[in-house]
Amino acid sequence: MAGRITLTMIKPDAVAKNYTGSIVKMIGDAGFRIAAMKLMHLTPVQAARFYEVHKGKPFYEPLVAFMSSGPIVAALLEKENAIADFRELIGATNPANAAPGTVRALFATDVQRNAVHGSDSDENAIIESDFFFSGLERY
Ligand code: UDP
Ligand code: MG
Protein backbone atom coordinates (compact mmCIF):
# COMPACT_ATOMS: atom_id res chain seq x y z
CA MET A 1 0.00 0.00 0.00
CA ALA A 2 1.30 3.43 -0.91
CA GLY A 3 2.30 5.56 2.08
CA ARG A 4 0.67 8.75 3.25
CA ILE A 5 3.72 10.99 3.72
CA THR A 6 6.34 12.78 1.64
CA LEU A 7 9.11 15.20 2.54
CA THR A 8 9.62 18.36 0.54
CA MET A 9 12.13 21.18 0.56
CA ILE A 10 11.57 24.51 -1.11
CA LYS A 11 15.13 24.97 -2.36
CA PRO A 12 17.38 28.05 -1.93
CA ASP A 13 16.62 29.40 -5.42
CA ALA A 14 12.86 29.49 -4.83
CA VAL A 15 13.12 30.83 -1.25
CA ALA A 16 15.47 33.61 -2.45
CA LYS A 17 13.03 34.57 -5.22
CA ASN A 18 10.18 34.76 -2.66
CA TYR A 19 8.22 31.89 -4.24
CA THR A 20 7.62 30.17 -0.87
CA GLY A 21 4.05 31.45 -0.50
CA SER A 22 3.03 30.53 -4.05
CA ILE A 23 4.51 27.03 -3.71
CA VAL A 24 2.90 26.41 -0.31
CA LYS A 25 -0.45 27.49 -1.81
CA MET A 26 -0.06 24.98 -4.65
CA ILE A 27 0.76 22.26 -2.12
CA GLY A 28 -2.36 23.06 -0.07
CA ASP A 29 -4.61 23.36 -3.12
CA ALA A 30 -3.43 19.91 -4.26
CA GLY A 31 -4.80 18.39 -1.05
CA PHE A 32 -1.67 17.92 1.04
CA ARG A 33 -1.84 18.52 4.80
CA ILE A 34 1.21 20.17 6.34
CA ALA A 35 2.25 18.06 9.35
CA ALA A 36 5.55 19.92 10.00
CA MET A 37 7.36 22.89 8.46
CA LYS A 38 10.53 24.94 9.11
CA LEU A 39 12.83 27.52 7.53
CA MET A 40 16.51 26.65 7.93
CA HIS A 41 19.92 27.13 6.34
CA LEU A 42 21.63 23.75 5.85
CA THR A 43 25.36 23.50 6.47
CA PRO A 44 27.40 21.82 3.69
CA VAL A 45 27.77 18.76 5.95
CA GLN A 46 23.99 18.54 6.45
CA ALA A 47 23.28 18.96 2.73
CA ALA A 48 25.89 16.31 1.89
CA ARG A 49 24.22 13.90 4.32
CA PHE A 50 20.73 14.55 2.96
CA TYR A 51 21.86 13.83 -0.63
CA GLU A 52 24.31 11.04 0.27
CA VAL A 53 22.46 8.63 -2.06
CA HIS A 54 23.81 10.73 -4.99
CA LYS A 55 27.44 10.71 -3.76
CA GLY A 56 29.85 10.05 -6.65
CA LYS A 57 27.53 11.44 -9.33
CA PRO A 58 28.89 14.44 -11.27
CA PHE A 59 26.17 16.76 -9.95
CA TYR A 60 26.64 15.81 -6.26
CA GLU A 61 29.21 18.37 -5.10
CA PRO A 62 27.66 21.35 -6.91
CA LEU A 63 24.26 20.22 -5.57
CA VAL A 64 25.59 20.22 -2.00
CA ALA A 65 27.05 23.71 -2.51
CA PHE A 66 23.75 24.96 -3.92
CA MET A 67 21.60 23.40 -1.20
CA SER A 68 23.74 25.01 1.51
CA SER A 69 23.90 28.41 -0.26
CA GLY A 70 20.82 29.89 1.44
CA PRO A 71 17.76 29.06 3.50
CA ILE A 72 15.33 26.30 2.54
CA VAL A 73 11.82 25.46 3.76
CA ALA A 74 11.42 21.83 4.77
CA ALA A 75 7.95 20.35 5.18
CA LEU A 76 6.40 17.00 6.00
CA LEU A 77 3.27 16.51 3.93
CA GLU A 78 0.39 14.06 4.32
CA LYS A 79 -2.02 12.77 1.69
CA GLU A 80 -3.17 9.45 0.27
CA ASN A 81 -0.62 8.33 -2.35
CA ALA A 82 1.66 11.17 -1.22
CA ILE A 83 4.87 10.22 -3.06
CA ALA A 84 3.41 9.84 -6.55
CA ASP A 85 0.91 12.68 -6.23
CA PHE A 86 3.60 15.10 -5.02
CA ARG A 87 6.00 14.16 -7.79
CA GLU A 88 3.19 14.76 -10.26
CA LEU A 89 2.57 18.20 -8.70
CA ILE A 90 6.25 19.22 -8.95
CA GLY A 91 7.04 17.82 -12.41
CA ALA A 92 10.22 16.38 -13.93
CA THR A 93 13.65 16.97 -12.37
CA ASN A 94 14.71 19.05 -15.37
CA PRO A 95 12.23 21.93 -15.66
CA ALA A 96 12.70 21.84 -19.44
CA ASN A 97 10.84 18.51 -19.30
CA ALA A 98 8.36 19.45 -16.55
CA ALA A 99 4.67 19.44 -17.55
CA PRO A 100 3.04 22.88 -17.85
CA GLY A 101 1.55 24.10 -14.59
CA THR A 102 3.83 22.01 -12.37
CA VAL A 103 5.86 23.68 -9.61
CA ARG A 104 9.13 23.15 -11.45
CA ALA A 105 7.72 24.39 -14.78
CA LEU A 106 6.53 27.54 -13.01
CA PHE A 107 9.36 28.26 -10.58
CA ALA A 108 12.57 26.36 -11.42
CA THR A 109 15.62 27.95 -13.02
CA ASP A 110 17.47 24.87 -14.33
CA VAL A 111 18.03 21.16 -13.61
CA GLN A 112 20.00 21.94 -10.43
CA ARG A 113 18.08 24.97 -9.18
CA ASN A 114 14.74 23.25 -9.64
CA ALA A 115 12.75 24.94 -6.85
CA VAL A 116 11.65 21.89 -4.83
CA HIS A 117 12.57 18.45 -3.54
CA GLY A 118 10.15 15.53 -3.27
CA SER A 119 10.83 12.10 -1.74
CA ASP A 120 11.14 9.24 -4.23
CA SER A 121 9.84 6.35 -2.06
CA ASP A 122 7.98 5.61 1.16
CA GLU A 123 11.23 4.41 2.72
CA ASN A 124 13.08 7.63 1.85
CA ALA A 125 10.12 9.77 2.99
CA ILE A 126 10.60 8.32 6.48
CA ILE A 127 14.39 8.75 6.42
CA GLU A 128 14.10 12.34 5.14
CA SER A 129 11.35 13.26 7.63
CA ASP A 130 13.48 11.97 10.51
CA PHE A 131 16.40 14.06 9.16
CA PHE A 132 14.42 17.29 9.64
CA PHE A 133 11.74 16.77 12.27
CA SER A 134 11.56 15.35 15.79
CA GLY A 135 8.30 13.87 17.05
CA LEU A 136 7.61 17.10 18.97
CA GLU A 137 7.71 19.10 15.71
CA ARG A 138 5.00 17.04 13.99
CA TYR A 139 1.31 17.86 14.31
N1 UDP B 1 20.42 17.34 -10.14
C2 UDP B 1 21.33 18.06 -10.91
N3 UDP B 1 21.69 17.56 -12.14
C4 UDP B 1 21.20 16.40 -12.63
C5 UDP B 1 20.30 15.67 -11.84
C6 UDP B 1 19.92 16.15 -10.61
O7 UDP B 1 21.81 19.12 -10.50
O8 UDP B 1 21.56 16.00 -13.75
C9 UDP B 1 20.01 17.86 -8.83
C10 UDP B 1 18.61 18.47 -8.84
O11 UDP B 1 18.59 19.57 -7.91
C12 UDP B 1 17.78 17.30 -8.33
C13 UDP B 1 18.70 16.69 -7.29
O14 UDP B 1 19.99 16.80 -7.88
O15 UDP B 1 16.54 17.73 -7.79
C16 UDP B 1 18.43 15.24 -6.95
O17 UDP B 1 18.39 14.49 -8.15
P18 UDP B 1 17.25 13.41 -8.39
O19 UDP B 1 17.63 12.59 -9.57
O20 UDP B 1 16.96 12.69 -7.11
O21 UDP B 1 15.98 14.31 -8.82
P22 UDP B 1 14.61 14.62 -8.05
O23 UDP B 1 14.24 13.39 -7.27
O24 UDP B 1 14.87 15.82 -7.16
O25 UDP B 1 13.62 14.93 -9.13
MG1 MG C 1 15.34 12.32 -5.93
pLDDT along the chain (139 residues), means of 10: 90 98 98 98 98 98 98 98 98 98 98 98 98 98
pLDDT of residue 1: 52
Structure confidence at residue 2 (pLDDT): 76
Q: What is the rounded distance in angstroms from the CA atom of residue 13 to the CA atom of residue 35?
A: 24
- E strands present in the chain: 5-10, 33-40, 72-78, 116-118
Lining ligand 1 with CB less than 6 A are: 54, 59, 63, 93, 111-112, 114, 117, 120
Q: Separation of 109 CA from ligand 2 center, angstroms?
A: 17
Q: What is the pLDDT of residue 100?
A: 98
Contacts of 120 (CB under 8 A, 6+ apart): 83, 87
Tell me which of 112, 123, 127 to substitute to probe ligand 1's pocket, judged by most ligand atoms within 8 Å of the beta carbon.
112
Centre of ligand 1 to C-alpha 93, Å, is: 6
**CATH of segment(s) 5-134:** 3.30.70.141
64: which DSSP letter? H
Domain ranges of the chain: 5-134
